[in-house]
Amino acid sequence: MGFFDFVKDAGKKLFGDDEAPEASAGAIEKEVADLGLDGDVKVEVSGDTVKIAGAAPTQEAREKLILAVGNVLGISKVEEEITVESSEPEAKFHTVVKGDTLWKVAEAAYGNGAKYQAIFEANKPMLSDPDKIYPGQVLRIPAL
């Protein structure tokens, strides 16, 4: 079980402030399905916290599920209970700050900005363009 913090005022807008938690959970489940992420999970929303539980085929899929539900406007915490079929090393997470680029993030993480493509690939399908990151967004930084 893990707890992850996100920036509440940053992320993709999926639902209104006055929506019932059940509607919010449905919107998040739809987002996960639309992204085509692997895993059989159930989503519950309580205020600004998402609880996600179920199974994922890989550690990478687990981490992408966490990021997909956490990088949503209005969500500040993700509590997860996702089992993984095949064990792999965990990636690090990085919260984007103003002025960050994938090049700068790769330079800090790997010592070489040219390796930004590894971070971009690790965050697909949530990222569609390496130049479209925003402050508050949380990214996967995989081991090379």
- The per-residue pLDDT for range 93-117, each reduced to its tens digit, is 999 999 999 999 999 999 999 999 9
Identify whether the C-beta of residue 129 lies closer than 8 Å to the C-beta of residue 103: no
- Residue 57 in 3-state DSSP? strand
Structure tokens at 80: 């997860």
Counting Cα atoms < 13 Å in the Cβ hemisphere of 102 gives: 20
Identify whether the C-beta of residue 138 lies closer than 8 Å to the C-beta of residue 94: yes
Is 0.85 topped by the overall pTM? yes
Q: What is the pLDDT of residue 97?
A: 97
Q: What is the pLDDT of residue 138?
A: 97
Q: What is the pLDDT of residue 20?
A: 60
Q: Are residues 114 and 79 in the same domain?
A: no
Range of the domain at 127: 90-139
Q: Which residues of the chain have pLDDT under 50?
A: none
Q: Are residues 79 and 20 in the same domain?
A: yes
**Is 73 among the domain residues?**
yes
Total domains, the chain:
2
Q: What is the pLDDT of residue 83?
A: 95
Identify whether the C-beta of residue 51 lies closer than 8 Å to the C-beta of residue 24: no
**Is 5 among the domain residues?**
yes
Q: What is the pLDDT of residue 22?
A: 64
Residue with tokens 């989503």: 43
Residue 93 phi, psi dihedral angles, 5° rounding: -110, 145
Q: Are residues 67 and 105 in the same domain?
A: no
Q: Are residues 105 and 38 in the same domain?
A: no
Looking at the DSSP assignment, which residues form a beta bridge with residue 72? 12
Q: Are residues 36 and 99 in the same domain?
A: no
Dist. CA 59–CA 17, nearest whole Å: 32
**Is 144 among the domain residues?**
no
Burial tier of 89 (Cβ tally within 10 Å: 0-12, 13-18, 19+): exposed
Q: Are residues 2 and 35 in the same domain?
A: yes
Q: Are residues 55 and 18 in the same domain?
A: yes
